[in-house]
Structure 1
Amino acid sequence: MKKISLVVATSLIALGAVSSASAADLAPQPYTKAPPYVAPAPIYNWTGFYIGGHIGGAFGGSDNILAPGFGGGNDGVFMGGVQAGYDYQFAPNWVIGLEANYSFLDTNSSFANRGLGSVTGRLGYTWGPALLYAKGGYAWADSRFSNGFGGDGGRDGYTVGAGLEYLFTQNWSGKIEYQYYNFGDVNVFDSLGFVGSFRNDQHTIKAGLNYRFNLGGPTVARY
């Protein structure tokens, strides 16, 4: 009988030790505060078509007899026009595109360019909502002038430029741009014959506003 009592007592002591260890294992863990939520940075998407308008100023080169301000100190004239194009973003911060634009020049001269048009490719680098780009391609001058200038009706040439564009809402962007146009040399005649050859080039500075389709706003990086 004593042996049975001893076995029972030993078993009860062992069971109590196991219960105490289990209770210790189930003790509440110390509270750890969760890290604050940080929203992923938006990735702006420039891919899509756009249309817009611009205003600015046009200035002729120093040797340009067809400068918009010719005869009035060659101080330049007001310009305004429209543009349309398509951009594609890749790799992932580069943007390539194609743009056509036309600018009307505010001049009453009968022997100055009345308008400037171009079809250009452009390549840019974007960070966030900003896009820095360069452009270049075909240019055309509306030179429907008289007084004996060659090339009446328009002249072909080339253009290069650069600008900064900023996507400030879901579908709207604004830009500031410089563009240089070169239409080669123009031969000038008067009643006595050939007078000379002059370079027909223009410098323009403009600010523009674009409405962009199919952007859908900034996308968010997924992890």
Structure 2
Amino acid sequence: MCVGMEGAPHEGVAERFSETNIMKKILAALVAFAALTAAAPATGADLGARPYYNKAPVYAAPLYNWTGFYIGGHVGGAFSGSNDFNGAVLSDSSARVLGGIQAGLDWQFAQNWVLGTEGQYSWLGKSNLTATFPGGYVYTNDQRGLGSITARIGYTWGPGLVYVKGGYAYSDNNERVTLGGVPTAFLLNGNHSNGWTVGTGLEYMVAPNWSVKGEYMYYDFGSTRFVTPAALAPFGSFHTDDHTLKLGVNYRFNFASPVVARY
């Protein structure tokens, strides 16, 4: 009994000692783990921050949009064809300076195609077309201007546009017939103020909202003959047409600014 009673306390002490050792080991492990955790940021700082690459924005090519309204002006020259009345007389074909205005509307209906309509008027420098007939009759036409309302279709490759056009043409004529210097009444069988025109040109955008162009146009107002005075009727008809070359500038209300792609 004494031996048994004396052994029990020794066993309790051994168990408490064992538990104490386990707790010490656990505590030591926790301290070590905490130390490693605290040291990790410092170690990362010693290695240096990760480099940051700031990508510059990628700039896309400018986008050109031809759709919209425009107004502008032009200068150039006009050349009237030489015509005769059955070989009896000739009209003047001298060149004249011109200057005028235009306005239009374009629609870019596909990547490379543009449809449009344009109204145009050109004032002509003074150069009378004169025909002198036997018997003292003199016919004079002071052509003061040329107008047109046309449709056009063009092919574009961004800032450039090459086009063809055609439609109605108008000639602002100031006509008279004199006999011995005195004005006399006359009658023509056709109205050579109204006709048709065709042309072609190249237009190019040179700055935001601004474009320049070069253009050729042919105007045809048909054939006309005198009904009265009777003395002029046998001389047959004469044909009225004009060739023009123009340089112009347009202000456009539709220019698309360059697009910047962001990444």
Of residues 167, 179, 186 in structure 2, which corresponds to 1:137? 167
Q: 1:26-175, aligned counterparts within 5 Å?
A: 38-61=58-81, 63-64=82-83, 74-106=93-125, 107-109=127-129, 110-147=140-177, 148=186, 150=188, 155-175=193-213
Q: Deviations over 1:94-139 (max 9, x none)?
A: 1111101111111245324321111000111111211111100111
Provide the rounded CA distance (Å) in 2 between the counterparts of 1:130 and 1:193: 51
Q: Larger % of helix: which?
A: 2
Is the Cα–Cα contact under 8 Å of residues 179 and 204 in structure 1 kept in the other structure? yes
Quick check: which has more Rg, 1 or 2? 2
Provide the rounded CA distance (Å) in 2 between the counterparts of 1:94 and 1:60: 33
Change in CA separation of 1:58 and 1:141 when aligned onto 2, cut-off 3 Å: same
Amino acid in structure 2 at the alignment position of 1:185: S
* 1:182 is the counterpart of 2:220: yes
Provide the rounded CA distance (Å) in 1 between the counterparts of 2:247 and 2:83: 24
Which residue of the partner structure matches residue 21 of structure 1?
none
* 1:206 is the counterpart of 2:246: yes
Q: Sequence identity of aligned pairs in percent?
A: 48
TM-score, L = length of structure 2: 0.64
Q: CA RMSD in A?
A: 3.7
Cα distance, 1:220 vs structure 2: 4.1
SS at match of 1:128: coil
Unpaired runs of 5+ residues, structure 2, are 1-46, 85-89, 130-139, 178-185
Change in CA separation of 1:52 and 1:218 when aligned onto 2, cut-off 3 Å: same
SS at match of 1:218: coil
Unpaired runs of 5+ residues, structure 1, are 1-26
Provide the rounded CA distance (Å) in 2 between the counterparts of 1:53 and 1:199: 29
Provide the rounded CA distance (Å) in 2 between the counterparts of 1:136 and 1:222: 39
Is the Cα–Cα contact under 8 Å of residues 53 and 82 in structure 1 kept in the other structure? yes
Q: Deviations over 1:122-173 (max 9, x none)?
A: 1111112111111001111112311246268752111100001111111111
Q: Deviations over 1:178-205 (max 9, x none)?
A: 0011111121467353312122111100
Q: Deviations over 1:39-86 (max 9, x none)?
A: 11111111111111111111122x436xxxx755x2311111111111
SS at match of 2:59: coil
Change in CA separation of 1:122 and 1:114 when aligned onto 2, cut-off 3 Å: same
Amino acid in structure 1 at the alignment position of 2:173: S
Change in CA separation of 1:154 and 1:184 when aligned onto 2, cut-off 3 Å: closer
